[in-house]
């Protein structure tokens, strides 16, 4: 949500490029995690959805770098958001490397 609020300040000419892209991929991280959670019974699908989330997280980081380079966000905002992106990446990698900890246990 922080990305959404910060991106409201981006210039109008970025509406169909940077603004839409950074909003889409940052939201997609959450959506893919939600889908992965619902796929816990299917190990390959579970890991695949987390891989998709990780990919979108990486794209978010790239767009943050563009926003910084274009001076649409401050160094402080970039550091704060980039740190969050890095933390999400660590968690996603952990879940992909240890999927069995999250599977639905059959009775």
In the chain, where are the structural domains located?
Answer: 15-99
pTM for this model (two decimals): 0.90
pLDDT of residue 106: 66
pLDDT digits (tens, 9 = 90+) for 30-51: 999 999 999 988 889 999 999 9
Where does residue 71 fall: left (phi above 0), alpha (psi -120 to 50 degrees), or beta otherwise?
A: left
**What is the Cα 91 distance to its own chain's centre?**
11
∠ CA(36), CA(42), CA(45), 5° rounding? 50
pLDDT digits (tens, 9 = 90+) for 82-106: 999 999 999 999 999 999 888 877 6
pLDDT for 58-80, tens place per residue?
Answer: 999 999 999 999 999 999 999 99
CATH classification (class only), 15-99 = mainly alpha
């Amino acid at each position: 949500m922080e990305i959404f609020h910060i991106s409201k300040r981006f210039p109008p000419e970025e509406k169909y490029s940077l603004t839409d892209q950074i909003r889409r991929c940052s939201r997609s991280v959450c959506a893919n995690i939600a889908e992965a959670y619902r796929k816990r019974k299917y190990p390959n699908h579970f890991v695949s959805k987390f891989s998709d989330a990780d990919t979108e997280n990486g794209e978010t980081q790239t767009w943050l770098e563009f926003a910084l380079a274009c001076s649409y966000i401050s160094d402080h905002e970039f550091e704060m958001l980039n740190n969050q992106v890095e933390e999400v990446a660590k968690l996603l990698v952990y879940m992909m490397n240890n999927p069995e900890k999250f599977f639905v246990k059959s009775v």
